[in-house]
Amino acid sequence: MTSKPYLTGHYAPVADEITATELTVDGALPPELTGRLIRNSHNPKPGVTPTHWFKGSGMVHGVRLNRGRAEWYRNRWVRTPALDGAPYLTDEGPDLTVSTAGTHVIEHGGRLLALSEAALPFELTPDLETVGAYDFGGRLTSAMTAHPKEDPATGELHFFASSPLPPFLIHHVASADGQVLDSQEVPGASAALKHDFAITAHHVVFLEGSVTFDPAEHSGIPYAWSDAQATRIGVMPREAGGARRIRWFEIDQGYSMHIANAYEDALGRVVVEGPAVGREGWRRSWNWWVGAPDRGAEPNSGSRGRRWTVDLAAGTVREEQTDDLTVEFPTINDGFTGSEHRFQYALSFPDDLGIGNHALVKYDRSTGARQLLPFGAGRLPSEAVFVPADGATGEDEGYLLTVVSDLNADASALLVLDASDLTVPPVATVRLPRRVPAMIHGSWIPDAAL
């Protein structure tokens, strides 16, 4: 029997938890990088073969940097009931504490939260030990998206709950100190899979793609492509009660897993950017996620950058492809969340979805320039996390942090890259004590946040 692809190669899980101190550093770590890079991944326990990549139990990996030193690396499973095989569905309905907690990890209100969109977040200590399920003091009674958005101006955290059954979509807002301020059911939403969303200065933006609830899907993730499911953008005013005034706009068929950013342009139009796939691209990805042998043969079906410009006054949407690379995991300088950004970063994949060379890509939206940093055969970088430099005045003045899995050496390293120019050598390389499995999302958590 062929091994599942998400249990082999770059994605092969590790079998234990370790802590290593005083890591070797090549180059010089900028002293302002004092904090923790924490990344999340699906890492089932030894002997467990999940039916879908997303069903694997969450494991966080952290690197602690402190004034030029790499103090430690550690990895820990997020100890939820799912880690010990507890069922998510019970006679009373979903148990929101039974989470993989393996998609993302963020900080908000001084708490570290490991996220998986079908359940409650799980709080972690700064040393990555599990505290337990976190429900915002009892105010959160739904699941929480793995892609919340923090407003850099107010510190408020916007997040949502998506369900295949009514209520299909609930929008939440928490204050900067972690108090839930508002929760609204969003009318007009459907059972379509909603993984990510965006905020602008005055709006919340939801995307519904051509992937929707399908009870016949038996992988444990009950969604499938449907040509009958409309692909739509929902634009909702941000103020209290704004859900009642949401407007939905149909767009070309497709699915967008991740959104880079959204903003309002000088004409008041809502601009949304992020990679998207069509039917064949979704099928190829899904078959990898469930370990099906059919990967599809249609060329150039990978995820391509797209831009949607919603003219609220005219009631129209203009769509365009922004690049021809196969990309995913778009990121920006988070200080520009909800406002127009110039620079955007992403992970570039070869069209065979994982066999061959990968690269980090930087886009300059003002000039149209594109920089590529290829990593060579057998090396896979993680999503690039931007950290601003001390005293930065320019949007790209700072660092990109990425963890590289190297199958050639059976090792991994944390690279600190100059975000202003990907063509120069790394600022610093932190050698990690083991090969770290390819991960999904993560965050830089400065000491001041905890």
Residue 219, token pair as written in the block: 């992988």
DSSP class per residue in 23-64: --EEE---TT--EEEEEEEE-PPTT---SSGGGSPEEEEEEE
Q: Are 199 and 205 in contact (CB under 8 A)?
A: yes
Q: Are 347 and 360 in contact (CB under 8 A)?
A: yes
Q: Which residue has the tokens 């199958």?
A: 407
Give residue 92's identity as a one-letter amino acid code. Answer: E
Alpha helices by DSSP H, 56-128: none
Among the listed residues 372, 371, 370, the one whose alpha carbon sits nearest the alpha carbon of residue 357: 372
111-115 vs 316-321, strand pairing mode: unpaired
**Binding site per annotation, positions:** 147, 195, 258, 441
The C-alpha torsion from 436 through 440 and 445 to 449, rounded to 10°, is -140
Cβ within 8 Å of residue 96, ≥6 positions away: 119, 120, 133, 142, 143
Residues found in the chain: 450
Among the listed residues 274, 259, 381, 252, the one whose alpha carbon sits nearest the alpha carbon of residue 323: 274
Q: Is the dihedral of CA 161, 172, 250, 320 positive or negative?
A: negative
DSSP class per residue in 153-218: TT--EEEEEE-SSSS-EEEEEE-TTS-EEEEEE-TT--SB----EEE-SSEEEEEE-SEEE-TT--
What is the Cα–Cα distance from 62 to 399, expressed in whole angstroms? 17
**Binding site per annotation, positions for Fe cation:** 147, 195, 258, 441
CA distance readout (Å), 339 to 183, 199, 262, 322: 24, 9, 7, 19
Query: Which DSSP category does 243 fall into?
Result: G
What is the Cα–Cα distance from 141 to 371, expressed in whole angstroms? 44
Residue 90: helix, strand or coil by DSSP?
strand
